[in-house]
Chains A and B, each alone.
Chain A
Amino acid sequence: MELNRILHVDDDEDIRTIVQVALEVVGGFELKQCADGPSAIEAAREFQPDLLLLDVMMPNMSGQDVRAEIGKLEGLRDVHTIFVTAKAEDDFTKQLRDEGALSVITKPFDPMTLADEIRGIWASLEQANRQTGT
């Protein structure tokens, strides 16, 4: 499956703008952006993203909460997730991966390579899937 549709959730408007340029302009993805959990859950139903790109530290609903809620939606139970966090502790990264995250990207990231990074992660996922025959 080719990666095309990405739903990005971040409460920081500036970061959203940068990610928008990084993924739409530089990366050529189809991108939908939301500022908080509830609007993201609403948007996800329609948008049916291939990948969630979630900020972890958000007011009211954390990235993990958003992931859990979206997972309850039809057709999105196994949607892949990449978290973006400024919290760079190794054990926290490990915890997120254990909870099923595809990867964790730490802030600050390089917007010029962000799309390539995500493509790389996606490619290694595809490769792993092929090896296990799914």
Chain B
Amino acid sequence: MNFNRDFVRVFAVISAFLSIVFLVFGTRMYFYTAMIVDSNQAQQFLWTQLLISLAVSLCLASTLYAVFSLAIKRLQAQKSALNDRYTREIDFHQTAINLHTVLCVSDSGGVIIEANENFEATFGYSQDEIIGEHHSVLFGEGKQDPQHRDIEAALEEDRVWTGEQKMVSKSGEPIFVNATVIPQFNTKGRHTRTVFMLTDVTVRRTADTERFLSTMLEELQDEIYVFDVDTLAIRYLNRSARRRCEWSIEEARCKRISDTAPNFDTGLFRKHTQPLFDGSKKLVTIEAMHPKGPVEITTRVITGMDGKRHFLSVLRDLSHRKVIESAKMESIATVSHELRSPLTSIKGSLRLLQSGAVGDLPEKAAPIVDIAARNSDQLLLLVNDILDLEKIGSGQMEFARDKVDLIALIDDAIGMNLAYADKYKVKLSRHMPEESATITGDYDRLIQVMTNLMSNAIKFSPQNEAVDITLERRTETWRVRVTDRGAGIPEKVRSLIGQPFSQHSSADGKKREGTGLGLVIVKKILVHHQSRLRFTSEVGVGTEFYFDLPAEDARPKEPPKVDNIADAPSSQPSAEITDIASLASRKAHGT
């Protein structure tokens, strides 16, 4: 374009010059020659020359005009195109500002005279409501608001104020805005209007909060697992959870919750979480064994923003707690051990008094001594049970792996409990198979199991009733059943069976002697025999405790490894013998 313009300019100058030269030359020739040469012919020739000069000049001038007007036309067209674009852009800017910013204008006195649609939407005022108000109403503390005063001060100095500030909507909600406050002046330099250009950043603030929360979630020591209710596909794992699974964020996204632990039993998981769906529980908790240590998992169902339901599991590492618990148990054991010495003296003294070896007691003193003796017996049982529990828990108790004749063992146990049964006027009725029953295990510990189960059954039996001790062959196991005809275990306390010190009030409401540790010990001993204690009970009919021991003739060659940690003492042992304990032990033993 520059080249064109220069070319036109040069062309115009040359043409003008030439046409002037031609014209001057023609005119001079015509007039001067006439003075020198007086001939018609010459006159004729000069006339012709003059005409040609005129014609050439005319031609040049008209070409010049044509070229110029063309060039000017083009320039004008360009200019108007440019103008159009400027106008459009300005329009666009205004629209954009209108669309994206919250705009309001006040007069020099601070009274609002204009507000756009965004303003209405953001602050909740209609135009009618806000126009005529002082702009201080937009601030939390009105004219006293420090930020408002700051802005006022800027305006007085004719400065533009920009920054983030907190304003309030009509309903009093806080609104965070990025604000630019521009004072406008008239031609005389007087402040006439103030324009508030605001960008609502409340959402960004909220997003910041969300980001903050998710960072916290990410940094949490407890592990967070979020996964789909139906497909169990993982939606989110926080950092600790990913560390346990050794997955990256991307890897975690393509996994299922069942990939988080080997031997994850989906069926059991569904059963465990069932109460979340029938509305009986808001959250369910389970203790389980992960290859990396004991854990406690609390699961609930959450509904996402998209309306989809997810499981939210929080997993807590119990290794530390187990250490504390075992330390606690150890100190209890130490105390218990110390208790045995004074108990020896107390029991011994009472026994000597009772026996009359040191002289006869007065008639009224005898029953009192009996009470003392009975309670010291009880105390000793308790101390022994605590010591046993601690020994099993800390792995100090060794379990023999001998071939044991189960029938002989049960008969021995019955023999040991006959006196106890007589005391309660209960019969022990044995039902043994014809064939021999051999298992691998620890004779003494299994005697302890049988004694505990039998003494329980005897305690809870009505007088003159029988406790049945049954041994029967299952496919690969021997099942031992101890059945009483007592009052039964009420439904609501069934989940407490097998928890320490939880001797329940039976259906008949009578209190029985016992330490409340017997079944805990039984459970733990059975775990070491790859078995577990189960029971059925019907109120008014009776209770049956039973367990299965792998029959020697059906044993696999390699016995499953027993992991001690699963049996470590716990303040919250598995609630249900049949369900949760099984998950924990399954996870622990990989069976």
Interfacial residues, chain A to chain B (CB-CB below 8 A): 12, 14-15, 18-19, 21-22, 25-26, 86-91, 107-112
Contacts and interface: CB of A to CB of B under 8 A. Distances in A.
Among all A-B residue pairs, the 7 with the closest Cβ atoms? A108-B344, A18-B348, A14-B345, A107-B344, A86-B340, A111-B348, A108-B347
B343 interface: yes
B357 interface: yes
A15 B358 contact: no
Contact of A86 (B344, B351, B396): B344
B387 interface: yes
A19 B387 CA distance: 25
Given A14-B342, A14-B345, A89-B396, 19 more contacts: A12-B341, A15-B348, A18-B345, A18-B348, A21-B357, A22-B357, A26-B355, A26-B357, A87-B337, A88-B387, A89-B391, A107-B340, A107-B341, A107-B343, A108-B380, A111-B351, A111-B355, A111-B357, A112-B351
Chain A CB count within 10 A is highest, among B357, B396, B398, for B357
A111 B357 CA distance: 10
Contacts, number: 60
B378 interface: no
15 contacts: A21-B352, A21-B358, A25-B358, A26-B352, A86-B337, A87-B337, A91-B398, A107-B341, A107-B344, A108-B343, A108-B344, A108-B348, A110-B347, A110-B351, A111-B357
Interface in B395-428: 396, 398
B248 interface: no
Contact of A12 (B345, B349, B387, B398): B345
Nearest to A91: B398
Contacts of A12: 341, 345
Contacts of A19: 348
A94 B389 CA distance: 21
The SS class assigned to the B binding surface is helix
B345 A15 contact: yes
Contacts of B345: 12, 14-15, 18
Contacts of A107: 340-341, 343-344
A89 B444 CA distance: 13
Interface in B321-368: 337, 340-345, 347-349, 351-352, 355, 357-358
Chain B CB count within 10 A is highest, among A18, A26, A87, for A18
B352 A90 contact: no
A18 B350 CA distance: 10
A14 B387 CA distance: 24
Contacts of A88: 387
A90 B398 contact: yes
B90 to A, nearest CB: 95
A18 B349 contact: yes
Interface string B468-503: 000000000000000000000000000000000000
Interface in B367-404: 380, 387, 391, 396, 398
Interface of B: 337, 340-345, 347-349, 351-352, 355, 357-358, 380, 387, 391, 396, 398
A90 B357 CA distance: 32
A56 B347 CA distance: 20
A58 to B, nearest CB: 11
B444 to A, nearest CB: 8
A68 B297 CA distance: 56
Contacts of A18: 344-345, 348-349, 352
A87 to B, nearest CB: 8
A86 B380 CA distance: 12
B335 to A, nearest CB: 13
A111 B352 contact: yes
A112 B355 contact: yes
Nearest to B358: A21
A15 B387 contact: no
Nearest to A86: B340
Contacts of A112: 351-352, 355, 357
Given A89-B396, A108-B380, A22 B352 contact: yes
A86 B341 contact: yes
Contacts of A22: 348, 352, 357
A112 to B, nearest CB: 5
A109 B349 CA distance: 11
A107 B355 CA distance: 19
A108 B343 CA distance: 7
A109 B348 CA distance: 7
A56 to B, nearest CB: 11
B431 to A, nearest CB: 32
Nearest to B384: A88
Nearest to B355: A112
Contacts of A87: 337
Contacts of B351: 110-112
Nearest to B349: A18
B380 A14 contact: no
B242 to A, nearest CB: 44
Contacts of B387: 88
Contacts of A108: 340, 343-344, 347-348, 380
Contacts of A110: 347-348, 351
A18 B344 CA distance: 9
Chain A CB count within 10 A is highest, among B345, B347, B380, B398, for B345
B73 to A, nearest CB: 116
Contacts of A111: 348, 351-352, 355, 357
B344 A15 contact: yes
A112 B358 CA distance: 11
Contacts of B340: 86, 107-108
